[in-house]
Amino acid sequence: MPLAVFVPGGHRTGPLPARCLGKSVVRGYPHHQVRPVISAFMEQRHLGRTGLRVSRIGLGTLTWGRDTDEHDAADLLRTFWEAGGNLVDTADVYGDGEAEYLLGQLMDGLVPRRDLVISTKAGSVADPDRRVDGSRGHLLSALDASLARLGTDHVDVWHLHSYDPATPLEETLQALDIAVASGRARYAGVAGFCGWQLARAATWQLAAPGSRARLASTQMEYSLLQRGVEREVLPAALDTGVGLLPSSPLGRGVLTGKYRGDAVPPDSRRASGHMAAFVEPYLDDTASRIVDAVTTAADGLAVTALQVALAWVRDRPGVTAPVVGARNAQQLTAALSVEALTLPDEICRALDDVSAPVHRYPDHDWSTL
């Protein structure tokens, strides 16, 4: 049944449009206006230039089997599935394989396998002398091991976890072709590739349609605190039809505002012995100004800073689905509540300005000068 939304001056059925959220750029949004409505079901988008449709928010499993136990993982997966989410992202190195194993156990009885789009990654290795192994032999063996842990005969999207300069790219990409041709993977993608690496890989795959598996997606960190992908990765992805799946879309949790004023919530990543260094780069003065702007916008819209930050990155050009790594179902529910929120253009422009990265030669578009 469609959601009915009352707005001043009339009656509307469906999600609340951005223009109903107010008229000021950041401050002064009338708080008596209706708050964004939470849709009953998540919208879906095509993954890059393919026929695969995924929910426009993905569920990450980086901490599964380590900080997230089986009970919290079950709550997370059930909450995500019930909200209409289907894209679940994992990797063979998450929890040393425990994340995949745990996801496989939950698919066995909690959520039907057919309702999920499972994405996993291979190529990262626990070898201090070689952090990445993109050889065909390693990748295909890693995929078989992932399938065994997941308890399934295929993954929906298989990503190369990183670029391996020690292996010819053609050999690495051939592993993707074999995986798709054999049915062990339905679609292929990459992660951690810079602009030229992505452009080269995507173009190589497109050069022989029918015999090579086109790249459907790429995973890179992207948020209001980290917009480096806009220089070369996003243009390459848009040009070659590769969908972007942003990781850390909330700036490693900083954009939620929970670290403002040097706060250290006891259950946060900043308070964690092995995750504090992960958060630290985004606690400088520049990040603080951006977080302040996000919080101000959220106050004016009568929503949360989390919703503003997530809606901004979700609706950037080229983005298919930000991948959210919630610690518990409560955090995930807060993230999923962004579904009906579309930021007003004025807010987007203000956030774009305050978070704009510095572009220097040759990144800057000199033709505009």
Which residues, in sequence order, are bridge partners of residue 226?
223
Spatial CA neighbour of 142 closest among 103, 185, 102: 185
Which residue in the block uniquely carries the two structure tokens 């136990």?
A: 69
DSSP code string of 52-120: -EEESSEEE-TTBTTTB-HHHHHHHHHHHHHTT--EEE--TTGGGGHHHHHHHHHHHHTS-GGG-EEEE
CA-based angle 146:151:152, to the nearest 5? 85
Spatial CA neighbour of 287 closest among 315, 258, 313: 258
Q: pTM for the full model?
A: 0.86
Query: Going by DSSP bridges, is the β-strand pair 87-89/117-122 parallel, antiparallel, or unpaired?
Result: parallel
Which residue in the block uniquely carries the two structure tokens 């074999």?
A: 178
Spatial CA neighbour of 220 closest among 117, 306, 323: 323
Cα 100 to Cα 43: distance, rounded to the nearest angstrom: 26
- With contact defined as beta carbons under 8 Å apart, do 279 and 353 qualify? no
Q: Which domains does the chain have, with CATH numbers?
A: 42-253+305-340 (3.20.20.100)
Q: Kindly state the tokens that stand for 86.
A: 């289907």
CA-based angle 62:63:64, to the nearest 5? 100
Quote the crossing angle between the two packed helices 136-150 and 169-181, to the nearest 10°: 40
Structure confidence at residue 101 (pLDDT): 97
Structure confidence at residue 259 (pLDDT): 75
Which residue in the block uniquely carries the two structure tokens 């002398």?
A: 129
Name all contacts of 28-34 with Cβ < 8 Å and 24+ positions apart. Answer: 28/300, 29/300, 29/301, 29/302, 31/302, 33/7, 33/8, 33/302, 34/5, 34/6, 34/7
Q: Which residues of 53-75 are buried (b: 16+ CB within 10 A; e: fewer)?
A: ebbbbbbbbbbbbeebeeebbbb
Residues 6+ apart with CB under 8 A from 298: 304, 305, 307, 308
Cα 173 to Cα 215: distance, rounded to the nearest angstrom: 10
**pLDDT tens string for the chain (369 positions)?**
333 322 223 322 333 333 233 333 334 433 333 344 444 489 999 999 999 999 999 999 999 999 899 999 999 999 999 999 999 999 999 999 999 999 999 997 899 999 999 999 999 998 888 899 999 999 999 999 999 999 999 999 999 999 999 999 999 999 999 999 999 999 999 999 999 999 999 999 999 988 999 999 999 999 999 999 999 999 999 999 999 999 999 999 899 988 777 756 556 554 465 666 767 777 788 999 999 999 999 999 999 999 999 999 999 999 999 999 998 999 999 999 999 999 999 999 999 999 999 877 777 665 555
Which residue in the block uniquely carries the two structure tokens 């050999």?
A: 171
Structure confidence at residue 271 (pLDDT): 45
Structure confidence at residue 321 (pLDDT): 98
Positions marked active-site: 94
Structure confidence at residue 19 (pLDDT): 28
Which residues, in sequence order, are bridge partners of residue 195?
none
Structure confidence at residue 126 (pLDDT): 85
Phi, psi of 191 (to 5 degrees): -145, 145
- With contact defined as beta carbons under 8 Å apart, do 247 and 91 qualify? no
Residues 6+ apart with CB under 8 A from 288: 260
Phi, psi of 202 (to 5 degrees): -65, -40
Structure confidence at residue 355 (pLDDT): 97
Cα 283 to Cα 240: distance, rounded to the nearest angstrom: 35
- With contact defined as beta carbons under 8 Å apart, do 253 and 265 qualify? no
